[in-house]
Amino acid sequence: MSKQSRSVRDTASAHPAEVIPIVEEQAVVLKRKTLTEGVRVRTVVREDEALIDEPVASETVEVERVPLDRWVDGPVPVRQEGDTTIITLLEEVMVVEKRLRATEEIRITRRRDIGQHSETVTLRHEEAVIERVSAKGGDSHDPD
């Protein structure tokens, strides 16, 4: 052993050993929820007046009975003259010979009228109203 290392050992044994405690600090973080503010959403129904102005078509049927009282050779087919449909009614009449006699025509005419129809109707729509709610219980209104 060298002289230098012996003097260090002798010096250490001459003084009692001092112990320095090591203190360590640790941070502990705790979390908790706290209500600071909230939001309330509700809907409000609004009504607006709107004018509807649209064309409206209507159709009427006119029936006219026209007496004929004439003889025909065979069945008369249904015919169309413009907007009028003509149906000829027949009857069998006993004579020395059998012949067809037209007794009546039924004329059905269609007429179409187009007019304008106006009506005021109420239309509804919803809007969302959002209100902020503080943690103290009071409401503060935000017009969103």
Tens digits of per-residue pLDDT, 114-123?
998 889 988 8
pLDDT at 139: 54
Q: What is the DSSP letter of 125?
A: E
Q: Is the pLDDT of residue 81 over 90?
A: yes
Q: Do 113 and 60 touch, CB atoms closer than 8 A?
A: yes
Classify strands 139-141 and 84-93 as parallel, antiparallel or unpaired. unpaired
| pLDDT confidence bin for 78, thresholds 50/70/90 | very high
Beta bridge partners of 45: 126
Q: What is the pTM of this model?
A: 0.39
Strands (E), the chain: 37-72, 79-81, 84-93, 99-134, 139-141
Q: Is the pLDDT of residue 7 over 90?
A: no
Q: Is the pLDDT of residue 39 over 90?
A: no
